[in-house]
Structure 1
Amino acid sequence: MSPESGLRVVVTGATGNVGTSVVRTLADADRIASVLGLARRVPEMTASKTKWAAVDLAQDADTDRLTDLFAGADAVIHLAWRFQPTHGPVVTWRTNVLGSLRVFEAVAAAGVPALVHASSVGAYSPGPKTEPGVDESWPTHGWPDAAYCREKAYLERALDTYELQHPDIRVVRMRPGFLFKEGAASEQRRIFGGRFMPGPLIRPALLPVVPALEGLRFQVLHTDDAAQAYLQAVLRDVRGAFNLAGVPPVDAEVLGELLQAKVVRVPRQLVRAALSTAWGLHLAPASPHLFDAVLRLPLLDTSRAHSELDWQPTRSSTEAIEEFLRGVRQGSGEPTPPLVGHKAG
Structure 2
Amino acid sequence: MRIVITGASGNVGTALLRALPAEHDVVGVVRRPPSAQGVYERVDWRSLDLTDPDAIPKLRNVFDEADAVVHLAWGFQPTHDVDYLNRLGVGGTSAVLQAAHTSGVGQLIHMSSVGTYAGGSYGQRVDESWPTTGIDSSPYSRDKSAAEAILDEYEERLGSSAIPIARMRPGFIVQRAAASGLMRYGLPGYVPMQLVPWLPVLPLDRNLCIPLIHADDVAAAIVLAVERRATGPFNLAGEPPMGRDDVAAALGARAVHVPAGVLGALVDLTWRTRLQHIDRGWLDLAFSVPLLDCSRARTELEWAPKWTAQEALADLLEGVADSAHTTSPPLRRRSVVDLLRRDLTDGLISSRRLP
TM-score, normalization: structure 2?
0.90
Aligned to 1:194: 188
In the alignment, which of 26, 44, 49 is matched to residue 35 of structure 2? 44
Output aligned runs, 1:1-345, within 5 Å. Answer: 7-26=1-20, 29=21, 32-46=23-37, 47=39, 49-130=42-123, 133-166=125-158, 167-168=160-161, 169-203=163-197, 206-213=198-205, 215-344=207-336
Q: CA deviation at 1:49?
A: 4.6
Name the aligned partner's letter for residue 35 of structure 1. V
1:262 deviation in Å? 2.0
Q: State the AA in 2 paired with 1:213.
A: D
Aligned length: 333
SS at match of 1:37: strand
Query: How far apart in 2 are the matches of 1:344 and 1:328?
Result: 14
- Paired letter, 2:48: V
Deviations 1:131-188 (A, max 9, x none): 5x10000000001121100000001111001112343411000000011111111111
Find the aligned partners of 1:253 and 1:215 in 2 and give their Cα distance. Answer: 10
Task: Determine the C-alpha separation between the residues in 2 that align with 1:247 and 1:195.
Answer: 33
For residue 106 of structure 2, what is the amino acid of its counterpart?
P
SS at match of 1:247: coil
Is the contact made by 2:172 and 2:212 (CA closer than 8 Å) also made in structure 1?
yes
User: Is the contact made by 1:172 and 1:238 (CA closer than 8 Å) also made in structure 2?
Assistant: yes
- Cα distance between partner residues in 1 of 2:184 and 2:123: 31
**Residue 329 of structure 1 contacts residue 343 of structure 1 at CA under 8 Å; is this kept in 2?**
no
Question: Structure 2 counterpart of 1:24, which letter?
Answer: R
Deviation at 1:215, TM superposition (A): 4.0
Structure 1 residue 128, shift from structure 2 partner:
2.5
Q: Deviations over 1:55-113 (max 9, x none)?
A: 11010112101001101001100000011111111111111111110100000010002
Matched residue type, 1:18:
V
Q: 2:35–2:328: 8 Å Cα contact kept in structure 1? A: yes
Name the amino acid aligned to 1:240: G
Contact 1:219/1:245, CA 8 A, preserved across alignment: yes
SS of residue matched to 2:24: strand
**AA in 2 matched with 1:93:** N
Q: Provide the rounded CA distance (Å) in 2 between the counterparts of 1:269 and 1:290.
A: 13
Question: Match of 1:202, SS?
Answer: helix
* 2:206–2:245 contact (8 Å) kept in structure 1: no
Query: Does the 8 Å contact 1:331/1:342 carry over to 2?
Result: no
Give 3-state SS (helix, strand or coil) of 1:36's partner.
Answer: strand
Following superposition, the deviation at residue 210 of structure 1 comes to 2.1
Moved more, 208-217 or 245-254: 208-217
**8 A Cα contact 1:33 1:49, kept in partner:** no
Unaligned runs of 5+ in 2: 338-355
Percent identity between matched residues is: 38
Mapped partners of 1:315, 1:289: distance in 2: 28
Q: Counterpart of 1:20 in 2: which secondary structure? A: helix
Is contact 1:330–1:343 with CA below 8 Å preserved after alignment? no
Unaligned 5+ residue runs, structure 1?
1-6
C-alpha deviation, 1:214, in angstroms = 5.2
CA contact (8 A) 1:333 1:341 kept: yes
Q: Is contact 1:199–1:330 with CA below 8 Å preserved after alignment?
A: no
Q: Is the Cα contact below 8 Å between 2:107 and 2:229 reproduced in 1?
A: no
What does residue 346 of structure 2 align with? none
Equivalent position of 2:340 in the other structure: none
RMSD in angstroms over aligned alpha carbons? 1.6
3-state SS of 2:326 partner: coil
Q: Give the stretch that moved more between structures: 309-318 or 266-275.
A: 266-275
| C-alpha displacement of 1:260 | 2.0
CA contact (8 A) 1:331 1:344 kept: no
Give yes or no for contact 1:45–1:336 (8 Å, CA) kept in 2.
Answer: no
